[in-house]
Amino acid sequence: MNKLTLLILSLFIISCQSSKQTTVLDAGIPAWVKEYPVSDSHYIGIGIADRSTHPQDYIQVAQQNALQNLSSQIKVSISSQSVFLQMDREYGYEEDYKSNIEVKANEILEGYELTGTFTQQNEYWVYYRLSKQLYQETRTARIQEAIEESKYFLNKAIMYYTPLKEKYIFYVKALDVLEPYLSEPLKTEFDRETVFLGSEIIARFRSYIDDYQIFCQSKKIKAMIGNSVDRIKLTVQHEGNRLADIPLITSSVFLELKDLSQSTDTNGVFITSVPKIKSVETVQKIEVGIDFQAWLDEGSDSEFIKKLFKGIKTHQINVPVYVYTPTIYVQTEEKHFGKDENGSDLRFTVESALSKMSFTPVGNKNDAQIFLTVKADTRKGIEKKGQKMFTAFLDMNVQAKDLEDRVIFSKTINKIKGIQLDFEQADNESYQQAIKEIKKTVIPDFVNSFVKD
């Protein structure tokens, strides 16, 4: 036998041995590992875990993956009689709700059976299956149980003598127990009528919540900028009766609010306040609503259910606060090198700047709430023989007093410089610089004195 024949024979023997080993190996792999099973009667779930990645809990990981795979085949469809469609028409929540319902449906998955496991090198495989008929029968039974429990809570909610807080909580609980099944019509008998239970709960809850009304007991609120509004009284009523222990939420775009109450007192009164008005906006609104969060938390742990109830509008009011600025009488003493020439440039500048910042200058002292006085005088700089440029310095004091002669604002600016070809022109230049200073700093500082803390 020559060397070529011997080589061919050796390769043939090795090939046969390799083929035999492959056949043996394939014979040990389950069919469901080789090819994903298809069944008309069962939902199938196959999960894999890497034992090197999950050395301690690879079995649990594979089981979880298998159940997720199984549950992904169970599609949730939304019935046309579902509470979903009702809410979606108003709030556009369908996608959010559908996603949540699929999660909840999978959380209560039951009746599945372990069909097989397989280990190969670092891979661990799990095979679950669930009878479609058993799943539907179990789900129908669970839906009926949830409906009965929900109707128990709904009955509690609509009973006349149930306290208002407990009514709210029972309504929430009635829907909470139905959460995994809210995509279903939930048709049942309630209060001698055939109803779709999810929609019935929402409709009755709306009727209940609409009877809460908020009122402002304070008369028309007017306040000057910089002042406070000490006690704004609010009340809450239900079917005409004032309610105690009702928390309110207050907010405002412009106003900084300080609530003096946590909830309505025994007389049904809630008090809020404005420590200081800081905006010149003429009408500033306080938005007031009822804070049902604590009741909602007692009724459900589900963020999904809470979001649904929060989406149902409750009564809110806007309390207007009418803000006005003080009337201001402006008087000036405008001297030039110690001489009063009865000028009025600074007065016109001050009045114009005040008007632009929504304050009201007046021409009659009797109409004024604040008296603003500007005193200005110039003095010559050093004069030297033969100099070509001359300097004037302007010193200015601005002071504001209220009707009780209290100083509420004071500002002094010295050495406002004017440089020109002679002293007269330098004097005029220093006044022009003073005008700029009034616009840029003096009047803004005066206005800010009303709003700063």
Provide φ and ψ at 283, rounded to 5°: -125, 115
CA angle 192, 194, 199 (to 5 degrees): 115
* Statement: residue 48 has pLDDT above 80: yes
CA angle 145, 146, 148 (to 5 degrees): 65
Higher-confidence residue of 244 and 382: namely 244
**Domain end marker among 134, 165, 183:** 134
In this prediction, residue 4 has a pLDDT band, given cuts at 50, 70 and 90, of very low
Mean pLDDT of the region 72-82: 65
Work out how many domains the chain is built from and give that number. 3
Mean pLDDT of the region 137-141: 89
Mean pLDDT of the region 3-32: 52
Of the CA atoms within 13 Å of residue 314, those in its CB half-sphere come to 23
Q: Tell me what the pLDDT averaged over the chain comes to.
A: 87
Higher-confidence residue of 16 and 227: namely 227
Question: Residue 22: what pLDDT?
Answer: 37
Question: Does 363 map to a domain?
Answer: yes
CA distance 212 to 16: 87
Question: Does 91 map to a domain?
Answer: yes
CA distance 261 to 276: 18
CA distance 281 to 323: 7
Q: Name the nearest CA neighbour of 408 among 225, 245, 152.
A: 225
**Domain end marker among 101, 134, 167:** 134
Range of the domain at 36: 32-134
148-177 pLDDT, tens digit each? 999 999 999 999 999 999 999 999 999 999
**Domain end marker among 301, 324, 347:** 324
* Statement: residue 357 has pLDDT above 80: yes
* Statement: residue 405 has pLDDT above 80: yes
Question: Does 423 map to a domain?
Answer: yes
224-239 pLDDT, tens digit each? 998 999 999 999 999 8
* Statement: residue 21 has pLDDT above 80: no
Measured in Å, how far apart are the chain's first and last C-alpha atoms?
A: 111
Q: Does residue 276 share a domain with residue 337?
A: no
Q: Does residue 341 share a domain with residue 430?
A: yes
Question: Residue 252: what pLDDT?
Answer: 95
Q: Does residue 436 share a domain with residue 334?
A: yes
Question: Residue 8: what pLDDT?
Answer: 44
Q: Does residue 413 share a domain with residue 337?
A: yes
CB 54 within 8 A of CB 38: no
Question: Residue 374: what pLDDT?
Answer: 96
Question: Does 309 map to a domain?
Answer: no
Q: Which residues contact 22 (CB under 8 A, 6 or more apart)?
A: none
Q: Does residue 98 share a domain with residue 41?
A: yes
Question: Does 104 map to a domain?
Answer: yes
* Statement: residue 441 has pLDDT above 50: yes
Mean pLDDT of the region 392-396: 95
